[in-house]
């Protein structure tokens, strides 16, 4: 079955160019690995798994970089290491508010993300590290504070020692 997102608006196959069903101009330029077929949220005519948050349905702003969203990179069961990924995205803020990311015992993640679509977990240590690096180069103090707050939300309550150290450093920076 061909993913409907790989069709032009006229229905013709477009293997080289993905057309965003949500109309997000920055989405079609995104290059992601093959994704698993989805007949739940992706059945919605204006929902695009590559740029719409699976939790709130709103588009992700890619101009802010990956610090504002999480993309489920879990491989499909039976697909092996080279199989297609889930590919659904969610805003970091929605993930924290929904208690599906960070350190949440009820879904079995410690500095991780639990995808509602595929029921798999993704480690977020590298993602948080990249978010912290992007905070350092952010131009505005408001942007830095917001980014640090999101990082702290993903690290709060972590049992991994490195995450606890990062959280303490972030709390110290936010107090200044």
pTM of the model: 0.78
Separation between Cα atoms, residue 102 and residue 155, nearest integer Å:
6
Residues in contact with 176: Cβ distance below 8 Å, sequence separation at least 6, in sequence order:
none
Residue that has been written with the tokens 């805003």 in this structure: 91
CA angle 46, 49, 51 (to 5 degrees): 85
Q: With cut-offs at 50, 70 and 90, classify the pLDDT of residue 171.
A: very high
pLDDT digits (tens, 9 = 90+) for 131-146: 888 877 766 777 888 8
Residue 116 and residue 54 in contact, taking contact as beta carbons nearer than 8 Å: yes
Question: What's the total number of domains in the chain?
Answer: 1
- Whole domain around residue 50: which residue ranges? 4-175
Residues in contact with 132: Cβ distance below 8 Å, sequence separation at least 6, in sequence order:
148, 151, 166, 170
Residue 130 and residue 69 in contact, taking contact as beta carbons nearer than 8 Å: no
pLDDT digits (tens, 9 = 90+) for 95-110: 999 999 999 999 999 9
């Amino acid at each position: 079955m061909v993913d409907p997102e790989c069709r032009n608006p006229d229905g013709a196959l477009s293997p080289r160019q993905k057309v965003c069903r949500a109309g997000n101009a920055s989405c079609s330029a995104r290059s992601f690995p093959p994704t698993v077929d989805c007949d739940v949220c992706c059945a919605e005519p204006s929902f695009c798994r590559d740029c719409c948050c699976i939790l709130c349905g709103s588009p992700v702003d890619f101009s802010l970089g990956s610090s504002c969203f999480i993309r489920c990179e879990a491989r499909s069961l039976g697909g092996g290491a080279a199989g297609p990924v889930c590919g659904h995205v969610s805003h970091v803020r929605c993930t924290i508010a929904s208690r599906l990311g960070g350190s949440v015992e009820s879904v079995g993640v410690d500095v991780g993300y639990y995808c509602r679509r595929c029921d798999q977990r993704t480690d977020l240590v590298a993602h948080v590290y990249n978010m912290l690096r992007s905070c350092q180069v952010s131009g505005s103090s408001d942007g830095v504070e917001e980014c640090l707050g999101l990082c702290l939300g993903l690290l709060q309550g972590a049992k991994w020692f490195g995450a606890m150290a990062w959280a303490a450093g972030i709390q110290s920076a936010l107090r200044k």
